[in-house]
Amino acid sequence: MAAPPPPHRTPPPPQRTPPPHRTSPGADPDARWLAVVMHTAFFLLLGASLARFLLRHPGEPRTPWIIALSVVLALLYVLGPALGTTAPADPPPGNRRRTRASVLLWLGMVVAVWVVLVVLAPSFAWCAVPLFYTGLRTLPARPALTLIAVLTAFVVVAQMRLADRFDPNLLLAPPAVAAIAAAGFVHMQRQAARQRALIDDLIRTRRELAATERRAGTLIERQRLAMEIHDSLAQGLSSQRMLLQAADRVWETDPAKARAHVHAAASIAERSLTDARRFVHDLAPADLAEGGGLVGALRRLADRESRAELPVRFHVEGTPAALPERTESAVLRIAQGALANVREHAAAGTAALTLTCLGDQLVLDVADDGRGFVLEAVAADPAGVRGHGLPAIRARVRALGGTLTIESAPNEGTVLTVSVPLPAPERPERR
């Protein structure tokens, strides 16, 4: 029999890599730090250029214009981010065109004022270096490179005007430095964009792999259960049905043979019951099957869940009495679920399991020093705030007739307390 074809899986849509020039400086601490350096460098160069002009050209008629234009350039440079010209990487569609127009207008005004300053005083040409960065951060790649070429041309002309004679170094060095700086910046931005896309792809792949592993584990467990049921309970029930049908057919004519069939059916039923009990026992927590009762199982759980980044301590107070298997299994499952929540959600540094054995109740405390959460959010949406862990814990506590208490606050950790009532010990009968 041919195997069915694998289900068709629609490939996920390709992830759009954000352009390198549109990354928001506020979204990346390194980019924000670089922006601060470039802005500081701009004002230092602007102040140094103005001081150089005033020292070398005192009392000239153009001095008031140079000072006024320097102040205007500084104000424009400061007001640019305040006016929203450095917009986020992906503004809403309705604001995208308006944001682009405001960026072009602001940058055009800054460059125009700088060009006038360079024409009046060539020493202001050094302010072009931070403007390179501003253009690369606010414009697409091609317009930014065009702007850099124009700024470089003005820098070359200004340096040639300042020189007493022709110097090939002044003609070739600024374009070479500008090309190296622009190429390095664009390369780093594209490399960062590729790394972000790769990280997003790895995260998506890890989630898909985890989901696939869960599905595969579910299918394997279902197959194991199906085989166990088929080989034990189903086969026994089928044999019992056949024997009882045979006994019914000869019940009147051959009572002895009918009774033999009934006895055989009863024997098969007893064996099936034994298999069913073994089957149910196999579904119980494996830690309880290794001995030591609930205390030993919790200690093994703490040891197994301990990691270098999240050590789990276990402490027991009092002497635990003999507990029903149902209670031990449920308490162990509650501890497993609580530790899973700590591991997945709390971002904690330490966790602790404490089992307190009192005369009439059993108390389990699971504490961590993680980020905590808002209790009102859990009460308002118990099924969606912390996943499925807390609802499952509540269901187990209700099944045991116990109480669940959670103490938590943002950045103050979480303490989960489960109190389970214990049956009163049987008193010996008086003779």
Domains of the chain by range and CATH?
Answer: 20-162 (no CATH), 287-421 (3.30.565.10)
Q: Which strand ranges, in their side-by-side order, compose the sheet holding 351-357?
A: 312-317, 351-357, 361-368, 414-421, 403-408
Beta strands in 205-277 (DSSP E): none
The pair of structure tokens assigned to 265 is 């059916």
pLDDT of residue 426: 55
pLDDT of res. 380? 56
pLDDT of the residue at 15:
45
Read off φ and ψ for residue 353, nearest 5 degrees. -110, 130
Say if CB 319 and CB 356 are below 8 A apart. no
Q: CA 137, 138, 139, 144: dihedral to nearest 10 degrees? A: -50
What's the pLDDT score for residue 21?
42
CB atoms within 10 A of CB 122: 20
What count of Cα atoms within 13 Å lies in the side-chain half-sphere of residue 40?
Answer: 6
First-to-last alpha carbon distance for the chain, in angstroms, is 72
Q: How far apart are CA 139 and CA 133, in angstroms?
A: 10
Express each pLDDT in 122-152 by its tens digit.
Answer: 878 777 777 777 777 777 777 777 888 888 7
Q: For residue 373, what is the DSSP state?
A: -
Which amino acid type is present at position 231? D
Enumerate residue ranges in the chain where pLDDT < 50. Answer: 1-26, 84-91, 383-387, 428, 430-431
